Copies of this chain bind each other. A is one copy, B any other.
Amino acid sequence: MISGRCAACKYLRRRCPSDCIFSPYFPSNNPQRFACVHRIYGASNVAKMLQQLPAHLRAEAANSLYYEAQSRTQDPVYGCVGVISLLHQQIHSVESQLAKTEAEIAVLNSLAQEPAQIQEHEVEAAFNNFLLEQDIIASRRFGHSTYISSNFI
């Protein structure tokens, strides 16, 4: 028997009204999607959040709620915030690499301009100083380890 009820109304064992708030975003062929957001937020909270939004933004909101609920299910301690921390670390690492590469260019450029005047050990010392400075700047700009915790306080 084919049922016209959406995944939410099937899960909640109720009739699916024609103006059901869940129906467009929780189709019956994906029952796990509704079960996941229901477990984390509860059906009534999801309904409330969707109802407070204009209709054209509800699909995106349902998607992001599902993504967050999935993250919370996979990581019950950090949820989505775990992903955010990882991305901050990744940005920090790439920014450091970039700063080092820019320092290398600066040294190469200075070498190209005055090749005869600069001795090998001077280049090395200049490059190491540059790296040190860049590391200090990078750690000042991207001290991300405190980002999340300072937002929690």
Binding site for B on A (CB under 8 A): 40-42, 44-45, 49, 52-53, 57, 60-61, 63-68, 70, 72, 76-84, 87-88, 90-91, 94-95, 97-98, 101-102, 104-105, 108-109, 111-112, 148-149, 151-152
Q: Which of B42, B87, B112 contacts A41 (CB 8 A)?
A: B42
- State the majority secondary structure of interface residues on A: helix
Copies in the complex: 2
- Write the nearest CB–CB distance from A101 to chain B, whole angstroms: 4
4 closest pairs, A vs B, by CB? A87-B87, A64-B81, A80-B80, A63-B152
A-B contact pairs, 16 of them (CB 8 A): A40-B45, A41-B45, A49-B72, A53-B77, A61-B76, A63-B149, A65-B79, A67-B81, A68-B68, A68-B80, A83-B84, A87-B91, A94-B98, A101-B105, A111-B112, A112-B112
